[in-house]
Amino acid sequence: MENGAAKPVIVAIDGPSGTGKSSTSKAVAAQLGLSYLDTGAQYRAITWWMVTNGIDTADPSAIAAAAAKPEILSGTDPENPTITVDGVDVAGPIREQDVTAKVSAVSAVPEVRARITELQRAIAASAVTGIVVEGRDIGTTVLPDADLKIFLTASPEARAARRSGELKGADLHTTREALIRRDAADSSRKTSPLAKAGDAVEVDTTELTLQQVVECVVTLVEEKRAGK
C-alpha cells in the first residue's frame, strides 16, 4: 500500500497437539511484528475455571449453563503472551494434567465454542498490524477469510517425543496414547472439529527443525503480502 498503514494480515495456524503451532506462531508473529493468540490457552482457561468451581466436566449441560460466567483475557504480545481468568493469572495451572485431560470435553460444548469464538474474532479484528491465531478450527470456522491458512502435521512419535521432552521425561508411551485420544476427541466432535481447511497449506514438521518451519511460514506470509 502506498500511503498509510498496510492492511492487517491475518494468519491461521491449525493442527493436532505437538505439531509446533505455539512455537511457530509466536516466532512468526515476533519476526513480522504481528500479534499472537493461543486459542488452546483460552479453552484451557475456561476448563480450569470449570474444574476450580466444581462444575462436572462430564456433564455438557452443566458446562453450557456456566459457559458465560468466567471473564477470560488474553495478552497478545508474542514475546509475552498472557492469560487471566477473572483477573487471576492462570498461565501455569492451565498446563496441568487435570486440565489437559478435561479440555476436550469442555471445548466440545457448543455454548463454550460460541463464547470463545466471539472473543477470538474480536481480538483478531482489533489487531492493528495483524495477528497469528493458532488452534484447531481457526481456518475452518473462526477466521475463514484469513489471508493465509497453515495446517501443521507431524507423526505421533515425533509429537509424543516433543511433548514428553516438555513434561520433563514423562513416559513416551503414555504421552503418545494421551495425545492420540485427545486428537480423536477433537476431530470427532460435532461443533467445529479439528480439521484442515480446503485452502490451507499443509506442512509436515516431522523432519523439520522449528527454525525451518518458521522460515517456511514467514516466506508464505511475505508472498501473500506481495500479492503472489
Ligand X SMILES: Nc1ccn([C@@H]2O[C@H](COP(=O)(O)OP(=O)(O)O)[C@@H](O)[C@H]2O)c(=O)n1
Annotated binding site for ATP: 15-23
Distance CA 214, CA 194 (A): 22
Identify what 213 binds: ligand ADP, ligand X, none; CB under 5 to 8 Å per kind. ligand ADP
Convert 124-137 into a string of H (helix), E (strand) and C (coil). Answer: HHCCCCEEEEEECC
The conformational region for residue 180 under phi > 0 = left, psi -120 to 50 = alpha, else beta, is alpha
140 binds ligand X (CB under 6 A): no
For residue 69, give Cα distances in angstroms to 22, 80, 105, 174: 27, 26, 18, 34
- Decide: 213 and 205 in contact? Cβ < 8 Å: yes
Minimum CB–partner distance for residue 3 and ligand ADP (Å): 38
Closer to ligand X at the Cβ: 137 or 221?
A: 137
Stretch (H or E) spanning 1 = none
25 binds ligand X (CB under 6 A): no
Among 11, 27, 44, 152, binds ligand X (CB under 6 A): 44
102 binds ligand X (CB under 6 A): no
Distance CA 78, CA 85 (A): 19
Site string for ligand ADP, 156-195 (x = CB under 6 A): ------x--xx-----------------------------
159 binds ligand X (CB under 6 A): no
Identify what 135 binds: ligand X, ligand ADP, none; CB under 5 to 8 Å per kind. ligand X
Minimum CB–partner distance for residue 70 and ligand X (Å): 15
Distance CA 112, CA 44 (A): 11
Q: What letter does residue 13 receive in the DSSP assignment? A: E
Task: List the one residue out of 141, 136, 148, 152 whose CA is nearest residue 23.
Answer: 152
Among 21, 113, 115, 136, binds ligand ADP (CB under 6 A): 21
22 binds ligand ADP (CB under 6 A): yes
Q: What number of other Cβ atoms are within 10 A of residue 13's Cβ? A: 29
Residues within the interface to ligand ADP (CB under 6 A) = 15, 17-23, 162, 165-166, 205, 208-210, 213
Residues within the interface to ligand X (CB under 6 A) = 17, 39-40, 43-44, 103-104, 107, 135-138, 182, 186
